[in-house]
Structure 1
């Protein structure tokens, strides 16, 4: 699919941050606790800690890295590898970087055998399930990396150079950080400034303006919205921050924590009613319930609908269609304000890390794996990534001097406008089946197709959430 998504939404249909959703169950990987023996077995000796080597990397040790070979490719990682070898020339010839689309099946034997790689980009259709990896103690706590000095400014810790929410995304209810998300995705309502201009309109900052614009477009034979009805778990990309804007971020926190009656909050009902009105008034592109992600994006990019809930990977994924309209001018909008009583200001948006990197607990050279990540979070490596794949990174800023494509530039502006009003729901990371199949397909998709009312959808979702909370086989997380 060639996308720039954060939790690899280019494979969203196949897997379940948001951003990224389908995670292949990793029980085979974790059925044995990685080969027996102590954690120190086969570990390389640490090197000498210094200002230039704050993680005490063994300068002569080998490094084994496995990258997901998806829409981002692996060149950005190979370029960072070259920087690693400049810092540790004695490791030349001992650094191995391989890429694959089959992360789980490639790495399962190595995890079970106790000889996993030193660094893994755990992404794609065969992504290993993070909840299981954490629960089975298969990962290294990355706090050492986060507390190390950054490459660009030794007076700043790595954690202090990251965008809001990135560190928290890698945590599972404790202080340890198990995952470092490298890419950064902005979710919201994506649209063409050029297509709005044809209607003598700008992006609607209130819901009343949204409905009025959809009515105006309908008279011109253009739909207001479309979405991938076959995969309706795209709808939350704009719906969840809409809920937070109306009722406050606390509503999403209660939903993530599976609290009783969290879905019965008035903000949820108000947001569902608003989206259902799009269906009732005929403002949704006919046939949307039967479209997949690519079909809905194609229809939208061709101007058949004004708005689509999506993530910033859509710029790459729809590049061919967008290029056919030189005046397209891609942009992302935050959820429109429902009323003056909304708890959060206009500009509130969902943005979060993607392309998740892990250092296995049994890695031979964990320090080397973390050092490569530290290098990747330098301004030089981050800008290289942005230029190559048209995606932001988790490094806060880092775009100075770069000419960004329209969608990415718009996403950057949206982040600046949002400031601290950035939400990061965790449901899709923590409870894959609940988010994708039950809430997405089982309720939101049914509501937007007119087969459930908002009240019926909410009742159904609350039961799904309750069932998940009461299922002792599902590990629970809190924020």
Structure 2
């Protein structure tokens, strides 16, 4: 939600490491999945530089145990998104930082990262480390362009807390590095690893004799059976319709292939209107809306409300990411058997095979170049990247981090176990998308508004495609928006 690499930015401009190689490496390393995606949106102004040389923050002497040169006693400020993953896992890491460096740590947990921090970045007084996730996030592309983000190369080169012979870059999922780059600079650490898809209760399917659909047509048929039972087939976060894009966008890539999607990521002319997969997928959603297969009132629900309705059995399917298991835990029945399914087949002409899945690094952490203690911010991330805290994260929030093999031997929760199986079954057929990461205003606000109308039957598929292309073209022509390019 990062990178884009978003799972590994399929090459995303990376030097010599292809998507297929990254996925093979991740499979070999035994990494499975984890939660949360990072949506970006409004930000600050002001220039600056993110290099160590330009930082005015006080530093300490570097050593084997203090490779980043944290000055003992220097306070640290952490601003953590408190959403589906909560923030206790961060507090636990902060406690270790406080003990090691005898320093105070000011912690803020919030769901309003952007609104609260935009004026602070503009005023030159940002916190040291930030979990920039949630609907009200900062626009990291703008921050990077302005030199507000600390270059994290020193973190990648620092030794792991678990094995000093290994660098941090050796112990994290390779796609995390690719996704966290703006150009050639690695300045975002995507801490989690998320599986996106269609989530459901395996118990609900078993109790009714239903099977998870293999194709879009199978889904439409099953929706008809579900509706006859007096249950809504689908619900979604209508207040934040971009949640639907987790599936819709990936479904386009699955059917039409990654080259077609990369053209969309790169804002190429006619990338939407000239892609037959776009037509097929958007018309599928148009059909679901026309047949009233969405829970009535979904357009007015928040993500929490839609998840609660789903947990209560008012709907069978919901588009989401693997953070949902933790976020929905308060209302999830013990025998719910939360599960996630792969993307649906479109036809025999699909470019990617059955079982293809969207899986990406997520939960973006940034360190402020103009913060008072950027070395401390990076050190907190180094602590979080230890096996101790990666396992703590998995235990507390039912999700995995970017640290490979960190959960070996652990018993996984139902949703995470399902996500893990889906990831393994997908093999090389993993999709990662960049559009939502690079141009959040386009996807979350502009296209999201169109999707909201599509799902209520107020807009046709043809108009959705036409207007989406117009919005994308407008961004492509807007010189005030920094552009990024993804390689095939």
Query: Which range, TM-score by smaller chain?
Result: 0.7 to 0.9
Q: Map Cα deviations across residues 362-402 of structure 1 (whole Å, 9 max, x no partner).
A: 34443332222112111111111121222322223322232
CA contact (8 A) 1:74 1:99 kept: no
CA contact (8 A) 1:80 1:372 kept: yes
- Report how far residue 237 of structure 1 moved: 1.0
Cα distance between partner residues in 1 of 2:417 and 2:393: 15
SS of 2:316's equivalent?
strand
Q: TM-score, normalised by structure 1?
A: 0.85
**Structure 2 partner of 1:44:** 58
**Distance change in 2, residues 1:373/1:230 (3 Å):** closer
- Report how far residue 337 of structure 1 moved: 1.4
**Distance change in 2, residues 1:81/1:319 (3 Å):** closer
Q: Give the one of 83, 98, 101 matched to 2:107.
A: 98
For the pair 1:31 / 2:46, whether they are aligned, the reply is yes
Instruction: Please tell me the root mean square deviation across aligned C-alpha atoms, in Å.
Output: 2.9
Cα distance between partner residues in 1 of 2:476 and 2:123: 34
Cα distance between partner residues in 1 of 2:70 and 2:235: 53
CA contact (8 A) 2:59 2:71 kept: no
- Report how far residue 444 of structure 1 moved: 1.8
**Structure 2 partner of 1:60:** 72
Cα distance between partner residues in 2 of 1:193 and 1:6: 30
Judge which range, 131-140 or 408-417, deviates more.
408-417
Judge which range, 354-363 or 327-336, deviates more.
354-363
Q: Give the one of 349, 352, 364 matched to 1:344.
A: 352
**Structure 2 partner of 1:205:** 214
- Report how far residue 217 of structure 1 moved: 1.6
CA contact (8 A) 2:68 2:154 kept: no
List gaps (5 residues or longer) in structure 2. Answer: 4-34
SS of 1:344's equivalent?
coil
- Report how far residue 470 of structure 1 moved: 1.0
**Distance change in 2, residues 1:164/1:246 (3 Å):** farther
CA contact (8 A) 1:243 1:267 kept: yes
For the pair 1:188 / 2:167, whether they are aligned, the reply is no
SS of 2:193's equivalent?
strand
Judge which range, 126-135 or 161-170, deviates more.
161-170
For the pair 1:158 / 2:168, whether they are aligned, the reply is yes
CA contact (8 A) 2:70 2:379 kept: no
SS of 1:296's equivalent?
helix
How many equivalent pairs are there?
452
CA contact (8 A) 1:241 1:348 kept: no
**Structure 1 partner of 2:39:** 21
Cα distance between partner residues in 1 of 2:227 and 2:118: 52
- Report how far residue 215 of structure 1 moved: 2.3
CA contact (8 A) 2:36 2:363 kept: no
For the pair 1:427 / 2:427, whether they are aligned, the reply is no
**Structure 2 partner of 1:248:** 257
Judge which range, 461-470 or 370-379, deviates more.
370-379
Judge which range, 106-115 or 454-463, deviates more.
106-115
Q: Give the one of 61, 77, 86 matched to 2:90.
A: 77
Cα distance between partner residues in 2 of 1:69 and 1:266: 38
CA contact (8 A) 2:60 2:72 kept: no
Cα distance between partner residues in 2 of 1:73 and 1:168: 26
**Structure 1 partner of 2:9:** none
CA contact (8 A) 2:237 2:243 kept: yes
Cα distance between partner residues in 2 of 1:373 and 1:70: 17
**Structure 2 partner of 1:236:** 245
**Structure 2 partner of 1:178:** 187
CA contact (8 A) 2:191 2:401 kept: yes
- Report how far residue 197 of structure 1 moved: 0.8
For the pair 1:299 / 2:314, whether they are aligned, the reply is no
**Distance change in 2, residues 1:113/1:305 (3 Å):** closer
CA contact (8 A) 2:81 2:132 kept: no
- Report how far residue 261 of structure 1 moved: 0.8
- Report how far residue 165 of structure 1 moved: 3.1
CA contact (8 A) 2:356 2:431 kept: yes
- Report how far residue 405 of structure 1 moved: 2.1
Cα distance between partner residues in 2 of 1:114 and 1:189: 42
**Distance change in 2, residues 1:279/1:164 (3 Å):** farther
Query: Counterparts in 2 of 1:143-154, with a 5 A limit?
Result: 143-154=153-164
Judge which range, 227-236 or 57-66, deviates more.
57-66
Judge which range, 144-153 or 126-135, deviates more.
144-153
- Report how far residue 434 of structure 1 moved: 1.0
**Distance change in 2, residues 1:297/1:119 (3 Å):** closer
CA contact (8 A) 2:68 2:379 kept: no
Q: Map Cα deviations across residues 50-84 of structure 1 (whole Å, 9 max, x no partner).
A: 3x44x342463524131325134443223223434
**Structure 1 partner of 2:142:** 132
Q: TM-score, normalised by structure 2?
A: 0.84
SS of 1:306's equivalent?
strand
SS of 1:137's equivalent?
coil
**Structure 1 partner of 2:327:** 317
For the pair 1:457 / 2:457, whether they are aligned, the reply is no
Q: Map Cα deviations across residues 143-169 of structure 1 (whole Å, 9 max, x no partner).
A: 221233333344443234333532233
SS of 1:362's equivalent?
coil
Cα distance between partner residues in 1 of 2:294 and 2:243: 15
SS of 1:463's equivalent?
helix
Cα distance between partner residues in 2 of 1:107 and 1:229: 26
